[in-house]
């Protein structure tokens, strides 16, 4: 089955530690995205990538970094510079050229908590 | 500022009953409006996407309407089932340039269907 796989489902971070969230898709989608979901707020875009080796900052990129070395993979690193990292992180993908009328497909998220 | 507001914030209905969720937006220039269903601890799943010219779109027991003049949308759920218990998120896409667009997410309506 085609889809998006995020791992791990739960992740704990110590103060001053960087952690990396994995996102893999086998939908042959060009574009991939990372969102953050907090209680009572809509999803907020962290980073997105239209093609391999290219990515753009979203609305809340500070304290995060990404890479796009393969079309299928778009890992997100939450750095120690992110002072409030506790949240539910969602990865999504879509066909970029027809983004306007194509849905984004989401993974099942990673819940990050601070120890 | 682009905004998407959903109401009610939460809703409890009896199994078998119908319900309607509301979405008001101030997003421009408008590209399309999407409804997603998000089960607890899972990623959102696309229900419908409507462009400017579409007034109604159905997906099984889910029917979305769009009034682009008043910038309002509704999601009607018919003959609710326990499995409809979830958050329903309204997402509006604004055209940036070319094929690029930006999504604005509502905070969702939390629906609980009970026996």
Q: What is the pLDDT of residues A15-58, one digit of tens each?
A: 889 999 999 999 999 999 999 999 989 999 999 998 899 999 99
Mean pLDDT, rounded, for A103-115? 92
Does pLDDT of A74 surpass 90? yes
pLDDT at position B95: 79
Q: Measured between beta carbons, which residues in chain A are less than 8 angstroms from residue B95?
A: 100
Q: What is the mean pLDDT of chain A?
A: 91
Task: Say how many CB pairs under 8 Å bridge A and B.
Answer: 53
Distance CA A32, CA A112 (A): 20
Give residue A97's pLDDT.
53
In this prediction, residue B28 carries a pLDDT of: 86
Is it the case that residue A67 has pLDDT exceeding 60? yes
Q: Say if residues A24 and A69 touch (Cβ distance below 8 Å).
A: no
Chain B residue numbers touching A90 (CB-CB < 8 A): 43-44
Question: In the structure, what pLDDT confidence band is assigned to residue A95 with cuts at 50, 70 and 90?
Answer: confident
For tokens 């809509």, name the residue: A42
Query: B71 to chain A, minimum CA–CA distance in Å?
Result: 18
pLDDT by residue (tens digit) across B66-105? 999 999 999 999 999 999 999 999 999 887 776 667 889 9
Q: For B97, name the nearest residue in chain A, comparing CA atoms only.
A: A100
Structure tokens at B94: 């604004």
Q: Which of B103, B82, B111 is nearest to B7 (CA)?
A: B111
Structure confidence at residue A108 (pLDDT): 96
State chain B's maximal CA–CA distance in angstroms.
49
Find which of A41, A50, A101 to mutate to test the B interface (most B CBs within 10 Å of its CB).
A101
Tens digit of pLDDT for each residue in B26-65?
988 888 999 999 999 999 999 999 998 999 999 999 999 9
pLDDT of residue B98: 66
With CB atoms and an 8 Å threshold, state whether A42 touches B104. yes
Confidence of residue A100 (pLDDT cuts 50, 70, 90): low
Give the residue among A20, A39, A42, A47 at the shortest CA–CA distance from A87. Answer: A39
Instruction: Report how far residue B94's alpha carbon sits from residue B96's, in angstroms, rounded to the nearest whole number.
Output: 6
Quick one: average pLDDT of A75-101?
A: 85
Residue A1 pLDDT class (50, 70, 90 cuts) = low
Each residue's pLDDT tens digit, B13-35 = 999 999 999 999 998 888 899 99
- Whether chain A has a CB inside 8 Å of the CB on B97: the answer is no
Please check the confidence at residue A72 and state whether its pLDDT lies above 80: yes
């Amino acid at each position: 089955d085609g889809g998006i796989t995020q791992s791990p489902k739960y992740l704990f971070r110590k103060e001053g530690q960087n952690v990396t969230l994995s996102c893999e898709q086998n939908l042959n989608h060009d574009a991939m995205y990372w969102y953050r979901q907090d209680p009572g707020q809509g999803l907020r875009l962290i980073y997105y990538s239209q093609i391999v080796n290219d990515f753009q900052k979203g609305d809340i990129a500070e304290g995060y970094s990404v890479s796009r070395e393969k079309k299928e993979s778009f890992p997100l690193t939450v750095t120690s510079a992110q002072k409030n990292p506790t949240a539910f992180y969602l990865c999504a993908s879509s066909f970029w050229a027809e983004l306007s009328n194509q849905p984004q497909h989401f993974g099942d998220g990673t819940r990050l908590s601070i120890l | 500022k682009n905004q998407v507001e959903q109401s009610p914030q939460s809703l409890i209905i009896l199994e078998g009953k119908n319900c309607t969720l509301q979405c008001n937006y101030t997003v421009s220039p408008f590209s399309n409006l999407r409804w997603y269903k998000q089960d607890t601890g899972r990623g959102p799943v696309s229900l419908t996407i409507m462009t400017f010219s579409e007034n109604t779109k159905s997906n099984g027991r889910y029917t979305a309407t769009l009034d682009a003049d008043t910038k309002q949308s509704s999601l009607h759920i018919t003959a609710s089932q326990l499995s409809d218990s979830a958050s329903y998120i309204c997402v509006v896409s604004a055209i940036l340039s070319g094929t690029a667009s930006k999504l604005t997410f509502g905070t969702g309506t939390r629906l609980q269907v009970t026996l």
